[in-house]
Amino acid sequence: MDDSRIVALFLARDEAAITHTDRKYGPYCRTISFNILEDRHDAEECTNDTYLQAWNTIPPQRPHSLQAYLGRIVRNLSLNKRRAKQAQKRGGEGYAAAYEELEQMVSSPSSVEESVDELVLRDLIERFLDEQTEQNRRIFIARYWYFESVRSIASKLGISQSLVKTTLLRMRNALREHLEREGVSV
């Protein structure tokens, strides 16, 4: 079913909206959530919560892209859940590994407590991504937006794992330089 029709069902408070959302975007949401939580049951729960949040927020929201809207919700919910469980063991190839990579990137002792305006940071990241090749951009998004494992990214993009790792390392370094050049201490 077309997204606009699904959104129309939400707006009409028709519960079939949830059915159609799950049919169309259930795998997408579960994948994002599983990449972060690395637990199928938690991922299922977050996916259900995503539908509920979509139900509670549409209306008044009228997302232009339902997929992007659901993706953001499930990512945020999953991150919150993951952070709540942060005290538990670390490990895995998805979120935990991606988080540690970013943590190392911003591990400058002088900037630990420094707060940065998220909007400013977002704009800087977008400009940084605009300067990248399409493949590099996709690798970066796959890793740090969707929290895909290196292995999974390599498989889906048809490239080697070592190329993915090398690209990510170079991009993190380049992003650090880009942010510092723009006055953000990392």
Contact residues for another protein, defined by CB under 8 A: 14-16, 18-19, 22-23, 25-28, 30-32, 34, 40-41, 43-45, 48, 51-52, 55, 64-65, 67-68, 71-72, 75-76, 79, 83, 99, 102-103, 105-106, 111-112, 114-116, 118, 121-122, 125-126, 129, 134, 137-138, 141-142, 144-146, 148-149, 151-152, 154-157, 179, 184-186
Q: Which residue intervals of the chain are DSSP H helices?
A: 3-11, 16-37, 40-57, 66-84, 95-105, 118-130, 134-144, 150-157, 161-181
Collapse the DSSP code of 15 into the 3-class scheme (helix H, G, I; strand E, B; otherwise coil) and give the result.
coil
Q: Smallest distance from the beta carbon of 154 to another protein, in angstroms?
A: 7
Q: Smallest distance from the beta carbon of 126 to another protein, in angstroms?
A: 5
Nearest C-alpha neighbor of 103 from the set 86, 119, 120:
86
Q: Smallest distance from the beta carbon of 6 to another protein, in angstroms?
A: 13
Task: Kindly tell me the sign of the dihedral angle through the C-alpha atoms of 93, 138, 85, 34.
Answer: negative
What is the token pair recorded at 17? 């909206």
Task: Kindly tell me the sign of the dihedral angle through the C-alpha atoms of 152, 156, 161, 162.
Answer: negative
Q: Smallest distance from the beta carbon of 69 to another protein, in angstroms?
A: 9
Residue with Cβ nearer another protein (166 or 180) = 180
Residue with Cβ nearer another protein (7 or 142) = 142
Residue with Cβ nearer another protein (99 or 167) = 99
Q: Smallest distance from the beta carbon of 166 to another protein, in angstroms?
A: 18
What's the rounded Cα separation, in Å, for the pair 24 and 35? 19
Residue with Cβ nearer another protein (28 or 165) = 28
Q: Smallest distance from the beta carbon of 148 to another protein, in angstroms?
A: 7
Residues 6+ apart with CB under 8 A from 145: 75
Residue with Cβ nearer another protein (156 or 170) = 156
Residue with Cβ nearer another protein (174 or 184) = 184
Residue 131's region, left for phi above 0, alpha for psi from -120 to 50, else beta, is: alpha
